[in-house]
Amino acid sequence: MTKIPTFNDLLRSTKIINQTRKDLLRKGYFPKYAESYLTDPNMLKAAIYNYTMEPMKSYRCPRCAITIKCPREWIHQHIKMHDINKEKRENEPRENSINPYSY
């Protein structure tokens, strides 16, 4: 049986989610294509409810080792951002390669 969140639980979760949202947007820790998770009011309500009902409240990124108090979907999007950046770096042509035949 699931626990029904109290008003204080929702208020506390709202404050945490709003502060986390501001930090993620300000520091650029969230991908541009998924910013609707942080800006859409309906998605924010869903995030507050999910955060309130989840047993784990904070997650750690395995790539950059930051700990974020957020719903699980947000940390998945943050990790996807690392994957996209890594793929971009791997596909970039290397500018520092030396051509031995040029004069």
The per-residue pLDDT for 3 is 76
- What are the tens digits of pLDDT across the range 33-65? 999 999 999 999 999 999 999 888 899 999 999
From the number of C-beta atoms within 10 Å of its C-beta (0-12, 13-18, 19+), residue 62 rates as exposed
- Domain range for 59 is 8-87
Q: Is residue 66 situated within a structural domain?
A: yes
Burial 41-60 (b: 16+ CB within 10 A, else e): eeebeebbebbbeeeeeebe
Residues 100, 79 contacting (CB under 8 angstroms): no
Q: Is residue 102 situated within a structural domain?
A: no
Domains of the chain: total: 1
Q: Is residue 32 situated within a structural domain?
A: yes
Residue 31's Cβ-side half-sphere holds a number of Cα atoms within 13 Å equal to: 15
Q: How far apart are CA 52 and CA 7, in angstroms?
A: 11
Average pLDDT, the chain: 88
Q: Is residue 96 situated within a structural domain?
A: no
The per-residue pLDDT for 4 is 83
Question: Residue 51, by phi and psi: left (phi above 0), alpha (psi -120 to 50) or beta?
Answer: alpha
